[in-house]
Structure 1
């Protein structure tokens, strides 16, 4: 039996990159096993495109890190070129919404330091003289983009890693994986390994390796074709004239990309009806293999590309590549800890394995080394899908993602495939009352309410069609009362003799008194915010915790790990309990008709009681994310309908209505409340986020304490501010650059129009803490004046909450 500190399963760009970065970080006994040879699977036949275009800063950094690695670092370390061509790239469009998307991504990229150029049709002609301009509105140019030889890049990383002590075992398929004590036992065709850590970097085989680990890996291989032409005369002429390589060009509306390949061109079409392949297991003999060409499936896309790039018609088809690439339900890779397993990690599921591989290996190596990711991980965290992401879901979503590879990514995007996986007991009642549903971690939840059955959101970067409906919901909650289905919350019970001690050591805050509610934040070792829990101490032996829907597996992992050494039991109650929100100035009058509990002085703000409501035992929490008098009512899901209908019966005559997630977002911003996952992330501390009051560090020890305090006192600490945006047309959402003059000093993390105050609001981090005046926010390319608000614009003294 061979020992390993880390055993990486899979020798594609992702796994080899991790091996490279772990050895650079000083890890020893790093072993990589591969069932065939390095790059076999999907890496070897990839087109090698590398880009900086992304809607998320973390995804962008994965891609930018890959470019730096392939272009600069590996050639210097190995003395060999990785075949990287800095050709630049552009995306073109005839769609006005797409132009808004380009402006938004360009604004984000200004902040991240990878500036992209929004193009006019004339500028497109300058950059790509072979493209016809008919019908084009413009585009976006990525000057540092290029393409790389996937095999050269992967082998270069392997060369450096093995030089640093890593071992690669080729043609050595994994046969079984099990846990013995504190080690992983991995049986392969050639030998058995005893490893402290294992990493599923199996790509095309990620689902199968996950199955051996006892995991549900929501990835599906999908067949993708591209064709390589013979010599194209127009390209040959450019080579003879020693002109620069043509930039890659993508037309997302027609769903294709084209790049120069020596004296020819590569055309890659993405059909709308994708072809999933080997969903329940890739054939064991499959390796560096391809499927037969099937150009009939993409003939219409090829014709469209030839209309735009007529030179394509002048080169015959030399090669057709038709092979599998893996897709997750949101097309982002799975990176991070494997849920519920100790020292098990995922680095798989990337449909852009070469593009993101170099950076993904860096990202996970940092996480494994330092106990936290180097950037916010929510977009890639391997725990963002749960057991509800079953076979049908992963197939439907993979097909959807492939077909929308070039889809417009709207700020409040809701895609239709794979819906209805998790529904609350109030779902049908919500729909009957006009709820337009969205999805959150598999749950269906009301986003907003319409007075027209079957209404849908018209997605836009500008003011959406649900704006007036949300205004009406806010008015109802502010003047009367509103009901909401909040069942999507993640919900956990901590029970046992040491429940209070458990909470006291969990995060940055102490446990509240019995019958009281508090917030506690679990920190990373670097002091960033990993989890946010609303903590209700029902007794010394019973704590009830709620958190964001998307945090369910992340938070369960934190609670389970923390429970070691405490005499407590941790129970996931997410599917067992439902939550009804009753908010607004009339909420007390409505609730009092169904309970004998004292809802006045005997039930103050931020307190909790177990009371009887309409004959049902309910955990009633007097807490509100909206800044209004109100209660959250938590109960067994089987009894939620009874409580809801009773409240509705007494509330309707008083003018009570309903509210959804969009109205809640508007109202919480008017209170300046931070949201986990957007405003609160692992990148920033509680003090930087402006909620240092929840950090009780005196005479206490907890993970991240010292790092948090060090950053609190650092000169380069960031500051979160609440901004009023002075623009009657554009509403902010996220990832807009904040400027002082021409200098970029910050970034918006969340925003919305505040209907109670008439103010358009945004929370933003300022990386320059001295930038307090003469600020602007760049929204879709337009600079708009912004003012820092010193207090929450709605009820800053919390009089309504305490009423």
Structure 2
């Protein structure tokens, strides 16, 4: 048996990049096993496109890191080219919404520092003279984009890694994996390994290797075709004249990309109806094979591409590549710890494995080395899907993602596939009252309430059909009383004699005393915010913790890891309990009709009887109005809701959803985990000094957080923004004069205050001459020193 520190399973671009970066980080005894040869599966037949275009800064950095690695670093280290061509790339459109999307991505790139240029039709013609301009509104240009030879890049990473002490073992398929004696035992065809860490980088086989690990890996192979033309005269002529390579061009409305390949062209169509392949198990003998061409499926897309670039029709088809690529339910890769198992990691599921692989290996190597990701990981964290992401879900979402590979990404996007998996007991009640539902970690939750059941949200970057209903919801909460279904919260019981020590060392804030509620932030080793918990202290030996829906698996892992050394039991109650929000100045009057128990002070927790039912009542509010979160057994939720609704009729009771809650919490300046609070920034950076009690206490990340105080100029501010036709949402650059000094993390129109509000991080202490760029429009902004709504919390204290 061979003892190794890390065993990486899979030798595509992703796994080989991790080997390279772990060796660079100083790890010893790192072994990569590959069932065939390096690049077999998907990497070898990829078109090699590399881009900086992304809607999320972490995804953008994965892609930009890949470009730097393939273009600059590996050629310098090996003395050989990876075949990287800096051709540039453009996306063109005839869709006004798409131009909004392009403007938004260009704004994000102003902050991240990767230059993207919005294009007029005339500029498109200048950059790509073979493209027709009929009907085009414009586009976006990515000057540093290009394409790489996937095999050259992967083998270059392997070469450098092996030179540094890493090991690559080809033609050694993994046959079984088990946990034994605190280590991973991996049986492969040529050897058995005892590994401290294992990494599933199996790509096409990611699901199967996940099954061996006991981990759900929600990825599906989908067949993608592209064709390579023979010589195209117009391209050959440009070559003969020594002209620069044509930029890659994508038409997202017609769903294709085209790039130059020597004196010909490559055309890659994405059909709307994806063809999934080997969902329940990829054939073990599969390696560097392709499927037969099936151009009938994409004929209409080919015709559209030739209409836009007539030169495509001049070259005959030389080669058709039809092979599998993997898709996750949101088309982002799975990177990070595997849920529920120790020292197991995922680095798989990327539909853009070459484009993201170089950066993905860097990202996970940093996480494994330092105990925290180098950037906010929420978009890629392998635990963003739970056990609810079953076969039907992963297939439905893979088909949807493939078909919407070039779909417009709206700021409040809700896609229809794979819905209805996790339903609150109040789901039908909400729908009957006009709730328009959204999805949160598999749950259905009300986003907003229409006048009648059956409404759907109109997606746009601008104010849309839910703006006025949300205004009514906010008015109801502020002036009367409203109900909300908050059952999507992640919920955990912690019991046992070790609860005091468990809570005191959990996060940056002190634990609340019995009967009280506190907010605590669990930190990464680097001092960033890993998790945010509302901690309700029921007794000396019993605590109840709630957190964001999307954090369920991450927080479950975190709490169980922290329980080590404490005499406590952690139980996930997320499915067992429902939560009803009762918020507004008339909330107390409603409850008093239904209970004889004392209702307690602000930030208290009590177990009381309401309408004859046992209820855990938390007097806490995320919306800035007096109210309660009422936590109740799932089977009792409907009865409790009906009683509250009936008692509230005399007070004009209504309902509110997630969009209204977001607008109201911004009026209070409340930070939201996953948007405003991430692993990248400390609680002190985030303006949460009042929730940090560092003196005399020991908790993870404490020293790093304090050490970063003097070095970092980052600070979160609440901005009032000049009104305009578009409200801020996220990822808008903040300018001080002509300099980019920050980025918006969340924003909305505050209906109670009549103010346009945004939370933003600034990387220098700028206060004057601030503005946002929202879809290319400059909007003046000023820092608010206090929250614009009830800054003294009088309404919540006195209600």
Contact 1:24 1:164 in 2 (8 A): yes
Q: Deviations over 1:197-231 (max 9, x none)?
A: 00000000000000000011000000000000000
Task: Name the structure 2 match of 1:330.
Answer: 330
Q: Deviations over 1:419-474 (max 9, x none)?
A: 00100000000000000000000000000000132111100011121000000000
Question: Helix, strand or coil for the counterpart of 2:534?
Answer: strand
Matches within 5 A, 1:629-778: 629-714=626-711, 716-769=712-765, 771-778=766-773
Contact 2:256 2:267 in 1 (8 A): yes
Q: Deviations over 1:8-30 (max 9, x none)?
A: 00000000000000000000100
For residues 473 and 454 of structure 2, the distance between their equivalents in structure 1, rounded to whole angstroms, comes to 18
Question: Where in structure 1 do 4 or more consecutive aligned residues deviate above 3 Å?
Answer: none
For residues 709 and 20 of structure 2, the distance between their equivalents in structure 1, rounded to whole angstroms, comes to 34
For residues 229 and 381 of structure 1, the distance between their equivalents in structure 2, rounded to whole angstroms, comes to 39
Contact 1:753 1:759 in 2 (8 A): yes
Task: Name the structure 2 match of 1:10.
Answer: 10
Question: Helix, strand or coil for the counterpart of 2:45?
Answer: coil
Contact 1:228 1:319 in 2 (8 A): yes
Question: Helix, strand or coil for the counterpart of 1:470?
Answer: helix
Question: Helix, strand or coil for the counterpart of 1:800?
Answer: helix
For residues 333 and 565 of structure 1, the distance between their equivalents in structure 2, rounded to whole angstroms, comes to 34
Matches within 5 A, 1:422-441: 422-441=422-441
Structure 2 unaligned residues grouped into runs of 5+: none
Question: Helix, strand or coil for the counterpart of 2:460?
Answer: coil
For residues 750 and 277 of structure 1, the distance between their equivalents in structure 2, rounded to whole angstroms, comes to 39
Q: CA deviation at 1:598?
A: 2.0
Task: Name the structure 1 match of 2:469.
Answer: 469
For residues 509 and 740 of structure 1, the distance between their equivalents in structure 2, rounded to whole angstroms, comes to 34
Task: Name the structure 1 match of 2:125.
Answer: 125
Q: CA deviation at 1:597?
A: 1.2
Q: Deviations over 1:591-648 (max 9, x none)?
A: 111110123xxx1100010000111100000000000000000011000000000000
Task: Name the structure 1 match of 2:779.
Answer: 784
Contact 1:224 1:322 in 2 (8 A): yes
Contact 1:108 1:736 in 2 (8 A): yes
Task: Name the structure 1 match of 2:604.
Answer: 607
Contact 1:63 1:356 in 2 (8 A): yes
Task: Name the structure 2 match of 1:203.
Answer: 203
Task: Name the structure 2 match of 1:58.
Answer: 58
For residues 277 and 481 of structure 1, the distance between their equivalents in structure 2, rounded to whole angstroms, comes to 52
Matches within 5 A, 1:19-30: 19-30=19-30
> What is the TM-score of this pair, normalised by structure 1?
0.99
- Superposed CA RMSD in Å reads 0.5
For residues 396 and 729 of structure 1, the distance between their equivalents in structure 2, rounded to whole angstroms, comes to 36
Contact 2:433 2:452 in 1 (8 A): no
Matches within 5 A, 1:60-139: 60-139=60-139
Task: Name the structure 1 match of 2:248.
Answer: 248
Q: How many residues align?
A: 798
Q: CA deviation at 1:500?
A: 1.7
Task: Name the structure 2 match of 1:192.
Answer: 192
For residues 37 and 724 of structure 2, the distance between their equivalents in structure 1, rounded to whole angstroms, comes to 59
Q: CA deviation at 1:650?
A: 1.1
Contact 2:608 2:615 in 1 (8 A): yes
Q: Deviations over 1:723-767 (max 9, x none)?
A: 001123220000000001110000000000000000000000001
Contact 1:132 1:309 in 2 (8 A): yes
Q: CA deviation at 1:713?
A: 2.5
For residues 128 and 56 of structure 1, the distance between their equivalents in structure 2, rounded to whole angstroms, comes to 27
Q: CA deviation at 1:84?
A: 0.1
Contact 1:175 1:188 in 2 (8 A): yes
Q: Deviations over 1:740-799 (max 9, x none)?
A: 111000000000000000000000000112x11110000000110001001000001111
For residues 561 and 641 of structure 1, the distance between their equivalents in structure 2, rounded to whole angstroms, comes to 35
Question: Helix, strand or coil for the counterpart of 2:177?
Answer: strand
Contact 1:119 1:141 in 2 (8 A): yes
The reply on whether 1:40 has 2:40 as its aligned counterpart is: yes
Contact 2:230 2:315 in 1 (8 A): yes
Contact 1:665 1:752 in 2 (8 A): yes
Task: Name the structure 1 match of 2:172.
Answer: 172
Contact 1:581 1:633 in 2 (8 A): yes
Task: Name the structure 2 match of 1:497.
Answer: 497
Contact 1:5 1:28 in 2 (8 A): yes
Task: Name the structure 1 match of 2:393.
Answer: 393
Contact 1:577 1:635 in 2 (8 A): yes
Task: Name the structure 2 match of 1:277.
Answer: 277
Contact 1:500 1:543 in 2 (8 A): no
Contact 1:7 1:199 in 2 (8 A): yes
Question: Helix, strand or coil for the counterpart of 1:155?
Answer: helix
Q: Deviations over 1:464-519 (max 9, x none)?
A: 21000000000001000000000000000000111121111111111101000001
For residues 184 and 598 of structure 1, the distance between their equivalents in structure 2, rounded to whole angstroms, comes to 53
Matches within 5 A, 1:279-358: 279-358=279-358
Task: Name the structure 2 match of 1:800.
Answer: 795
Q: Deviations over 1:37-95 (max 9, x none)?
A: 00000000000000000000000000000000000000000000000000000000000
Question: Helix, strand or coil for the counterpart of 2:522?
Answer: strand
Contact 1:711 1:717 in 2 (8 A): no
For residues 499 and 706 of structure 1, the distance between their equivalents in structure 2, rounded to whole angstroms, comes to 24
Q: CA deviation at 1:300?
A: 0.2
For residues 456 and 313 of structure 1, the distance between their equivalents in structure 2, rounded to whole angstroms, comes to 42
Question: Helix, strand or coil for the counterpart of 1:209?
Answer: helix
Contact 1:110 1:737 in 2 (8 A): yes
For residues 480 and 509 of structure 1, the distance between their equivalents in structure 2, rounded to whole angstroms, comes to 33
Question: Helix, strand or coil for the counterpart of 1:508?
Answer: coil
Q: CA deviation at 1:654?
A: 1.4
Task: Name the structure 1 match of 2:151.
Answer: 151
Q: CA deviation at 1:653?
A: 2.6
Task: Name the structure 2 match of 1:479.
Answer: 479
Q: CA deviation at 1:712?
A: 1.6
